[in-house]
């Protein structure tokens, strides 16, 4: 069986075949399959043998993602939903290239453009403050401001489009 | 002695202070904003009082409300922790006026050392080396332009009331100067309520070394050796250690004496830190006095055996320092790593959200000062520090390995944290060699991503869990918000009723 | 240096040893019985090998199998931990024959000090004071009766190969002598594979004080001060501290020198402990040499800053002691409390079962050496120790308060533990005053029950949870045994597949 | 509403009335009701205000019992099932006074009596070893041994009757 996981905007293919009880053959992408055995699982903590090497992983699910901590690194995976089912908010904000959103919730402290302004790629369009840090939102493209959805002082949510652009 | 302390802070430092109070037999009062109704520090305190809306200006920075709360609950002292009102002279003065002990220096001292520009002048007069730069607050852009003409680029924009890197901007050419000053002013205003900024020469690849001091109200001053705080991102420390791998014994002694001299020149009392920049030629410059308990105070505690927060409380209560300089020695090595709710793959962007899973490490030589619990919400309102992990070892190398093992067992899921980044930083060959300087991260860790084998292992785990997942309708541990969502098979027990 | 260590133990001590190995860059191999397939020490090791059925005699005591396993995996050393084979001379000898480094003294030394009767003779000859009693193993009941006629009652039945209180019985009159000897022999046989017992005068209300020593293979011996281990139940320590509140500086120095003399008399190498009884008149008697790392070694580590397990490994590898006596000093105070799966309301009856919930404390000055995790099964096969919590403080009183706070935040649910008992013990006025002696528990803590107000609070919580509990069919965290029982809302994610 | 909880063989009555959302009036036995408010709950950890005092409790359920940790003390409660529904194994073993059982699983290393023997109250009847500790099972009454259900060397479960007595 093949799964496609999305992590930080990249898609990863994983092929998995159940071997025997609590044992699998798993291959990443077109790589060689590895034998993975589950030794124990308890309260979100899982012990595996991966090709004989003991690996402890922690996993939890929330908000449609699975979060996994292994070897000190943590990852958030989403199962790829297929193109037919449309794109998520995050994909819109990042992928289409003409929407500018804050990657985190915060307060819109500065709005540097208005409707109709021409902007350069990399130009700072707005500043959002969260956790006492200012973060500049820059234009992903050269274009024209088509819409501004918020005013200075507004609270904005993560990935909520603040400015909509049209490419030039 | 103090009987009851109101802790005017939140998170790990509020808990740290409350623990010291408990050990001294002092009652504790927590305050909390509406965003912190479920925060961990409420569980530690003897009583908890709400003090306002989530924005800090309406709660943790609300001087009037905090002072009135202290009086109402009968607290005879306020400990401000770090950040928020810790170095606010108006707050300290208000406490003095109301007869409440402020656990820190006097308002007059705070006013002096808090004004970086004034402090630079005082130190210069006392014969302490300072970094070349402005000794007055810049008004119009011309003031700054004029300063750069003698200093040369790069320069650093600094907030006069600054601290923790807030309002700081490095400027490498004339073109960026104006924007940098404007941004620095906005951040300074938001963080400290004052937009004064000035310029200093930017020293390339310096070491950031600070000395911990304790000063009582009877003129006794001791230092507790240094902390090497060069590893920073966004001008904020993220890894600190002591002893510094850079200092020779002779230089350590000399800087310690200068630190005590600086403290005396400022008429400083209570626990404080004298920060220095050490340049490539081992020249050192006074940077500022941090008039608070520092985030990184545990590494000093672990190597000297002195409890700094307890000392703060004793000094504030008017006791004489029981420690003399000759009582203080360093034993072994300690390294602290700060765990922030930040995404190190996105330039340390804050990452608020819910902690869906938490497993903290333990074991020999590890200390965890934590402000989180499984299921808690990390809100976007405050500094994104979650916890600190500190390792002590007989040698730097043993401490480093312990810290890495600790981080590898510090499972925080649901939000991005600095854990994985810190492991790779601590394993970097330059860190192993003790080659730490303030641009270590931008130079060595740029474009950091988790290593491929960890990603592969995580993908395999994800695939296994996906392939075996039957339907099950709710989230365990993560989103349980009421008792009955967590107690399974309860009805077996309850069915007899 | 050693490259790979097989740790012939389980639980917290196996993990402790593995952590020391990791810090020294040594690979680790865990062994486990069929009962321990899911035990925590397997998660820490680089590899894990099954070695037999649950009864210790078929697994953790199976010398042949353990040695063959070590050879097969290429381990050049075996660390035995404490208990099991730690002080078994046959095991050490087998390692010597097979060219495997045994992390401990030589088999010859183990044979000498392990035979309590022979050790008493050796020490007597070296001019070290011993407790009056038999200097030979009793055979028929007449041997014992004869000994009691000169010693007088009460006497103590002790296993010649004993340790940890196993096989020990106090006898207060002639009538109970025979049964006590039979029971002592059975326990000794089961615990040590040898039923030899002897009698010693029973000293009333003694202090149990031991000195930690390190001895290398070049004749260098140092001591690392004492541990006060008087608080015991069933002849087994449960709370230990250092420095001892009972010793004067002069007595401490004198006992330390006698401890080193005893170690030299025994030709002892590696880490070891010389145990003394201190009577009410401050007279002290050699009790035995414990030829292993002790359960309570962390309190010495926290006050001296020396990592005893790393020292064990370095000495075993043939290195010279880098520490001299004058390098060793005590800083502050440390207290350890042992958490057992035992019911203190039922005379410390072992309480095996599943740990349904676990939340371990953390914070300044606390160290947790733990062998458990949420959901793990505590089986009836082995010693019921679960974990140790150790508090360091600048003074005894600060350490004591920290330890109590730590215990109050050490939530273990599903089995009975000693946690609540330990809190009340540490709060007992006699403990606060440092009045510790070996019958402290029977004298001060008899018939212990949790305090009424805690019970009341728990009842209120139970009622609230009962009254709010709707139907919900399964147990969270507790009985989840496979991934899909724990990942909620997984199908939301999986539905796209 | 009244609940009856059994803990260590004793029964406790608790009366509870819901006050408002996440707030209750609770009385133990015939005591004065206390106001209890729930502040937070997360992953088995609950913060309450009891009569204004902050209390943190941990709770989990398993095997028909609820386990609660509060103020450093832990408790296991069972809801009383009512007399009509018979007695549990534990109650039989302890309550009737004529059954001798081990309070924990272990190995029966010594059997000191046989069928028909007369025994004194407090006399040691058998020895069970678990976790390397010998535990003596003593007679709760003066009586005669009616049945012996296990032989030396057998494994016994907790609360499984090993010896059945008849009072004299």
CATH number at residue C137: 3.30.1490.20
Q: How many domains does chain A have?
A: 2
In whole angstroms, what is the distance from residue B266 CA to residue B111 CA? 10
Please report where in the chains the tokens 């890495």 appear, as a residue.
B404
> What values do phi and psi take at B228, rounded to 5?
-90, 115
Q: Are residues D76 and D102 in the same domain?
A: no
**D140, HSE (Cβ side, Cα atoms, 13 Å):** 14
Domain check: are B197 and B216 in the same one?
Answer: no
**Residue B66 within a domain:** yes
Domain assignment present for D138: yes
Query: Is C483 part of a structural domain of the chain?
Result: no
pLDDT confidence bin for D107, thresholds 50/70/90: confident
What is the per-residue pLDDT for C475?
A: 30
Identify whether A128 is part of a domain.
yes
Please report residues of D whose CB lies closer than 8 A to that of B486: 41, 43-44, 59-60
Domain boundary residue, one of D65, D87, D109? D87
Q: Categorize the per-residue pLDDT at B471 as very low, low, confident or very high, splitting at 50, 70 and 90.
A: very low
Residues B216 and B359 in one domain: yes
The span from the CA of B487 to the CA of C471, in Å, is: 10
d(CA D149, CA D146): 10
Nearest to C477 among B19, B331, B477 (CB): B477
Q: How many Å apart are CA B460 and CA A11, to the nearest integer?
A: 14
- The Cα–Cα gap between A85 and C497 comes to 12
Q: How is residue C158 annotated by DSSP? A: E
- Shared domain for D18 and D74, answered yes or no, is yes
One domain for residues B321 and B302: yes
Query: Which range of residues forms the domain containing residue A162?
Result: 98-167
A134–B454 C-beta distance less than 8 A: no
- Find all residues with CB under 8 Å of B408, minimum gap 6, and list them: A71, A72, B361, B423
Cβ contacts of D59 on chain C, cutoff 8 Å: 357, 413, 461-462, 465
Neighbours of C455 (CB within 10 A): 23
| Nearest chain C residue (CA) to D38 | C464
Strand partners, B201: B155
The whole-number average pLDDT for the span B203-208 is 90
- Give CA–CA dist D128/D157, Å, rounded: 10
**Nearest CB to C48; choose among A54, A64, A80:** A54
| Same-domain pairing of B170 and B304 | no
As given in the structure block, the two tokens for residue D107 are: 């190995």
Q: Is there a contact between A38 and C483 if contact means CB atoms under 8 Å apart?
A: yes
* Residue pLDDT, tens place only, A40-87: 888 889 999 999 899 999 999 888 899 999 999 999 999 886 533 333
Are residue C170 and residue C306 in the same domain, yes or no? no
In which band, very low, low, confident or very high, does the pLDDT at A150 lie, cut at 50, 70 and 90? confident
d(CA C255, CA C260): 9
Q: By a Cβ cutoff of 8 Å, what residues of chain C touch chain A?
A: 37-38, 42-43, 45-48, 373-376, 477, 480-483, 486-490, 492-494, 496-497
Q: Any idea which residues of C carry the catalytic annotation?
A: 292
Last residue of a domain, one of B143, B172, B201: B201
Q: Which residues contact D57 (CB under 8 A, 6 or more apart)?
A: C457, C458, C461, D45, D46, D47, D48, D68, D69, D70
Same-domain pairing of B275 and B345: yes
Task: Tell me the helix, strand and coil percentages in chain D, rounded to 5.
Answer: 5, 60, 35
Instruction: Report whether pLDDT(B360) > 70.
Output: yes
Taking CA atoms, D53 is separated from B10, C420, C462, in Å, by 20, 20, 18
A11 and A76 within one domain: yes
- Which residues in chain B are closer than 8 Å to C486, comparing Cβ atoms? 476
Active-site residue list of B: 292
Q: Which residue has the tokens 């709005």?
A: A111
C274 and C415, same structural domain?
yes
Is C253 inside a domain boundary? yes
- Percentage of residues in chain A having pLDDT higher than 90: 35
The verdict on A102 and A83 lying in the same domain is no
CB A58 within 8 Å of CB B411: yes
- Residues D18, D58, single domain; the answer is yes
Spatial CB neighbours of D110, under 8 Å, sequence gap ≥ 6: C186, D126, D127, D152
- Give residue D137's pLDDT band: very low, low, confident or very high (50, 70, 90): confident
Strands in C169-171's sheet, in edge-to-edge order, are C169-171, C155-159, C197-201
Per-residue confidence at B366, pLDDT binned at 50, 70, 90? very high
Domain span at residue C163 reads: 132-201
Q: Which of C103, C121, C155 is the last residue of a domain?
A: C103
Average pLDDT for B421-446? 95
Say what the pLDDT of residue D132 is. Answer: 65
Question: How far does C295 lie from chain D, in Å, by closest CA?
Answer: 17
d(CA C20, CA C1): 14
Q: Coil, strand or helix: which one is D15? A: strand
Q: Is residue A93 part of a domain?
A: no
Q: Which two tokens stand for residue C126?
A: 């070296």
Is residue B176 classed exposed, middle or buried when 0-12, 13-18 and 19+ CB atoms within 10 A define those classes?
middle
In the three-class reduction of DSSP (H, G, I as helix; E, B as strand; rest coil), residue C487 is classed as coil
What is the average pLDDT score of chain B? 91
C281 inside domain: yes
Verify that A78 and A12 share a domain, yes or no.
yes
Contact indicator for A158, A128 with CB cutoff of 8 Å: no
Q: Residue C239 in 3-state DSSP?
A: strand
Task: Supply the pLDDT for residue C224.
Answer: 98
Please check whether residue A109 lies inside any domain of the structure: yes
Q: Is residue B109 part of a domain?
A: no
Q: Which of C201, C225, C257 is the last residue of a domain?
A: C201
C370 neighbourhood in chain B, CB within 8 Å: 362-363
Q: What pLDDT digit, counting tens, does each position of D51-65 carry?
A: 989 999 999 988 889
Percent of chain B at pLDDT > 70 equals 94
In a domain, D18, yes or no: yes
Q: How far is D3 from chain C (nearest CA, A)?
A: 7
CB B183 within 8 A of CB B190: no
Q: Which of D54, D87, D120 is the last residue in one of the domains?
A: D87
Higher pLDDT, D157 or B411: B411
Same-domain pairing of B72 and B168: no
With CB atoms and an 8 Å threshold, state whether C410 touches D72: yes
Q: Does residue B124 fall inside a structural domain? A: no
User: In chain B, whose CA is at the least distance from the CA of D48?
Assistant: B43
User: Is residue A80 domain-shared with residue A6, that is, in the same domain?
Assistant: yes
Contact by Cβ (8 Å): A72, A84: no
Q: What's the maximum distance between 2 C-alpha atoms anywhere in chain D?
A: 63
Q: DSSP per residue over chain A, as a string? A: -EEEEEETTEEEEEEEEEEETTEEEEEETTS--EEEEEEEEETTEEEEEETTEEEEEEEEEETTEEEEEETTEEEEEEE---GGG---HHHHHHHSSSEEE-SS-EEEEEE---TT-EE-TT-EEEEEEETTEEEEEE-SSSEEEEEE---TT-EE-TT-EEEEEEE-
Is residue B468 one of the residues assigned to a domain?
no
Q: How many interchain CB pairs under 8 A, C with D?
A: 174
- C176's enclosing H/E stretch is helix C174-192
Residue B475 has pLDDT above 70, yes or no: no
Pair A10, A34 in one domain: yes
List b or e across D34-45, with b for residues whose CB sees 16 or more CB atoms inside 10 angstroms.
bebbbbbbbbbb
Residue B469 pLDDT class (50, 70, 90 cuts): low
Looking at residue A81, its pLDDT comes to 66
Task: Classify burial at D122, counting beta carbons within 10 Å of its beta carbon; exposed 0-12, middle 13-18, buried 19 or more.
Answer: exposed
Q: Name the neighbours of C, counting chains with at least 3 Cβ pairs within 8 A.
A: A, B, D
CB contact under 8 A, B453 and A105: no
pLDDT greater than 50 at residue B85 = yes
User: Half-sphere exposure of residue C242, counting CA atoms within 13 Å on the CB side?
Assistant: 23
D96 vs D24, higher pLDDT: D24
Nearest of C368, C431, C286 to residue B365 by alpha carbon:
C368
In which residue ranges of chain C is pLDDT below 70? 163-164, 469-497
Model confidence at D94: pLDDT above 70: no
Residues A80 and A108 occupy one common structural domain:
no
pLDDT tens for each residue of A88-102: 333 323 334 677 877
Q: Are the beta carbons of B458 and A106 separated by less than 8 Å?
A: no
Residues A108 and A46 in one domain: no
On whether residue C360 sits in a domain, the answer given is yes
Q: What is the 3-state secondary structure (H, E, C) of chain B?
A: CCCEEEECCCHHHHHHHHHHHHHCCCEEEEEEEHHHCCCCHHHHCCEEEEEECCCHHHCCCCHHHHHHHHHHHCCCEEECCCCCCCCCHHHHHHHHHHCCEECCCCHHHHHHHHCHHHHHHHHHHCCCCECCECCCCCCCHHHHHHHHHHHCCCEEEEECCCCCCCCCEEECCHHHHHHHHHHHHHHHHHHHCCCCEEEEECCCCCEEEEEEEEECCCCCEEEEEEEEEEEEECCEEEEEEECCCCCCHHHHHHHHHHHHHHHHHCCCCEEEEEEEEECCCCCEEEEEEECCCCCCHHHHHHHHCCCHHHHHHHHHCCCCCCCCHHHCCCCCEEEEEEEECEEHHHCCEECCEECCEEECCCCCCEEEEECCCCCCEECCCCCCEEEEEEEEECCHHHHHHHHHHHHHCCEEECCCCCHHHHHHHHCCHHHHCCCCCCCHHHHHCCCCCCCHHHHHHHHHHHHHHHHHCCCCCCCCCCCCCCHHHCCCCHHHHHCCC
The reply to whether A92 falls in a domain is: no
Q: Are residues B240 and B368 in the same domain?
A: yes
D39 interface with B at CB cutoff 8 Å: yes
| Minimal-distance CA residue of chain A relative to B84 | A132
Domain assignment of residue A44, yes or no:
yes
Same domain, A80 and A123: no
- Buried-exposed string C371-403: b where 16+ CB fall within 10 A, e elsewhere: bbbbbbbbbbbbbbbbbbbbbbbbebebbbbbb
CATH number of the domain residue C9 falls in? 3.40.50.20
Q: How many domains does chain C have?
A: 3
Q: Are residues C183 and C216 in the same domain?
A: no
Contact B65, B78 (CB under 8 A): no
Chain B residues with CB under 8 Å of C468 CB are: 482-484
Return the CATH number at C392.
Answer: 3.30.470.20
pTM for the whole structure: 0.85
CA C337 to CA C237: how far, in whole Å?
9
Query: Distance between CA atoms of C55 and C53, rounded to whole angstroms?
Result: 6
Report the alpha-carbon distance of residue B440 to residue B230 in Å, rounded: 8
Comparison of pLDDT for A143 and D105, the residue scoring more: A143
Instruction: Indicate which CATH number applies to the domain containing A159.
Output: 2.40.50.100
CB atoms within 10 A of CB A147: 12
A59, A69, A129 ranked by CB distance to B465: nearest: A59
Do the beta carbons of residue B3 and residue B313 sit within 8 Å? no
Chain C touched by D18 (CB under 8 Å): yes
Closest CA to D47 of B14, B481, B411: B481
**Per-residue pLDDT averaged across A3-28, rounded?**
92
* Chain A contact probe: residue of C31, C376, C486 with most A CBs at under 10 A: C486
Residue with tokens 């109970």: C176
Q: Do D57 and D16 have their domain in common?
A: yes
Contact C384, C355 (CB under 8 A): no
Task: Pick left, alpha or beta for residue B52 (phi over 0 → left; psi -120 to 50 → alpha; otherwise beta).
Answer: left
Same structural domain for residues C172 and C93?
no
One domain, residues B81 and B144? no
Q: What integer pLDDT is reported at residue A85 of this predicted model?
A: 32
């Amino acid at each position: 069986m093949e799964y496609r996981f999305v992590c930080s905007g990249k898609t990863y293919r994983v092929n998995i075949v159940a071997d025997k009880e609590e044992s699998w053959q798993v291959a990443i992408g077109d790589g060689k399959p590895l034998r993975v055995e589950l030794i124990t699982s308890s309260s979100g903590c899982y012990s595996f043998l991966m090709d004989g090497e003991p690996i402890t992983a922690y996993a939890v699910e929330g908000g449609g993602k699975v979060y996994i901590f292994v070897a000190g690194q943590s990852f958030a995976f989403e199962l790829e939903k297929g193109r037919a089912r449309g794109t998520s908010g995050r994909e819109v904000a990042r992928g289409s290239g003409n929407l500018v959103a804050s990657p985190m919730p915060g307060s819109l402290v500065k709005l540097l453009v208005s409707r109709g302004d021409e902007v350069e790629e990399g130009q700072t369009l707005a500043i959002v403050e969260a956790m006492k840090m200012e973060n500049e939102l820059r234009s992903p493209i050269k274009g024209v401001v088509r819409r501004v959805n918020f005013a200075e002082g507004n609270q904005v949510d993560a990935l909520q489009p603040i400015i909509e652009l049209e490419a030039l | 002695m103090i009987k009851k302390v109101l802790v005017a802070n939140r998170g790990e430092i509020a808990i740290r202070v409350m623990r010291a109070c408990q050990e001294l037999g002092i009652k504790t009062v927590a305050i909390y904003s509406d965003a912190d109704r479920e925060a961990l520090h409420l569980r530690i305190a003897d009583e908890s009082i709400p003090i306002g809306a989530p924005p800090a200006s309406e709660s943790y920075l609300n001087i009037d409300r905090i002072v009135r709360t202290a009086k109402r609950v009968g607290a005879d002292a306020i400990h401000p922790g770090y950040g928020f009102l810790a170095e606010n002279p108006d707050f300290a003065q208000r406490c003095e006026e109301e007869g409440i002990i402020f656990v820190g220096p006097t308002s007059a001292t705070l006013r002096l050392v808090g004004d970086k520009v004034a402090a630079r002048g005082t130190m210069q007069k006392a014969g302490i080396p300072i970094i070349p730069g402005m000794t007055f607050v810049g008004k119009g852009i011309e003031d700054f332009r004029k300063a750069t003409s003698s200093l040369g680029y790069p320069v650093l924009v600094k907030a006069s009331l600054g601290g923790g890197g807030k309002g700081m901007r490095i400027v490498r050419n004339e073109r960026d100067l104006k924007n940098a000053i404007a941004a620095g002013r906005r951040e300074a205003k938001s963080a400290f309520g004052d937009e004064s900024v000035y310029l200093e020469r930017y020293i390339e690849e310096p070491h950031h070394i600070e000395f911990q001091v304790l000063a009582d109200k009877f003129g006794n001053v001791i230092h507790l050796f240094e902390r090497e705080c060069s590893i920073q991102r966004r001008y904020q420390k993220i890894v600190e250690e002591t002893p510094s791998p850079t200092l020779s014994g002779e230089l350590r002694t000399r800087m310690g004496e200068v630190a005590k001299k600086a403290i005396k020149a400022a008429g400083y009392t209570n626990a404080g830190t004298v920060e220095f920049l050490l340049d490539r030629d081992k020249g050192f410059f006074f940077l500022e006095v941090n008039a608070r308990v520092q985030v990184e105070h545990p590494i000093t505690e672990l190597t000297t055996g002195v409890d700094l927060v307890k000392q703060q409380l004793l000094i504030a209560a008017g006791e004489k320092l029981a420690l003399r300089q000759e009582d203080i020695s360093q034993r072994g090595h300690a390294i602290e790593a700060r765990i922030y709710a930040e995404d190190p793959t996105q330039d340390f962007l804050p990452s608020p959200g819910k902690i869906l899973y938490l497993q903290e490490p333990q074991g020999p030589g590890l200390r965890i000062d934590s402000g989180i619990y499984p299921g808690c919400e990390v809100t976007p309102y405050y500094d994104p520090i979650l916890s600190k992990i500190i390792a002590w070892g007989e040698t730097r190398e043993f401490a480093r390995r312990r810290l890495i093992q600790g981080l590898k067992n510090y499972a925080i899921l649901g939000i991005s944290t600095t854990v994985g980044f810190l492991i790779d930083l601590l394993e970097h060959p330059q860190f192993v060699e003790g080659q730490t300087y303030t641009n270590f991260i931008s130079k060595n860790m740029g474009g950091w991503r988790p290593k491929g084998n960890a990603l592969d292992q995580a993908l395999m785990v994800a695939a296994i869990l996906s392939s075996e997942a039957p339907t099950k309708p709710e989230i365990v541990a993560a989103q349980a918000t009421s008792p009955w969502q967590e107690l399974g098979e309860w009805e077996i027990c309850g069915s007899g009723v």
